[in-house]
Amino acid sequence: MSNNNNNLSDLNFDFSGKTVVVTGASRGIGREIALAFARDRAKLILTARSTEALKPVAQEIEALGTEVRCIALDQRNVKTIRDQIEPLGPIDVLVNNAGVEEVRDTLSVDEALWDKVVDTNLKGAFFVAQAVAAKMAQAGGGAIINLASLTSFVGVPGAVPYGASKTGILGITRAMAAEWAPMGIRVNAIAPGYFETDMTSVFYEDRAWVEKMISNIPSGRLGELSDLTGAVEFLASSGANYVCGQCIVIDGGYLAKI
Q: Which residues belong to the active site?
A: 162
Counting every residue written for the chain, the total comes to 258
Q: Are 8 and 19 in contact (CB under 8 A)?
A: no
With residue 103 as reference, give the H or E element that holds it.
none
Among candidate residues 100, 157, 93, 94, the one with its CA nearest the CA of residue 123:
100
Count other C-beta atoms under 10 Å from residue 129's C-beta: 24
Q: Are 24 and 99 in contact (CB under 8 A)?
A: yes
C-alpha distances in angstroms, 96 versus 22, 145, 147, 209, 222? 6, 6, 6, 29, 23
C-alpha distances in angstroms, 60 versus 1, 36, 56? 29, 11, 6
Rg value, the chain, Cα: 18
Q: Are 146 and 96 in contact (CB under 8 A)?
A: yes
Question: From CA 178, how far away is CA 185, in angstroms rounded?
Answer: 10
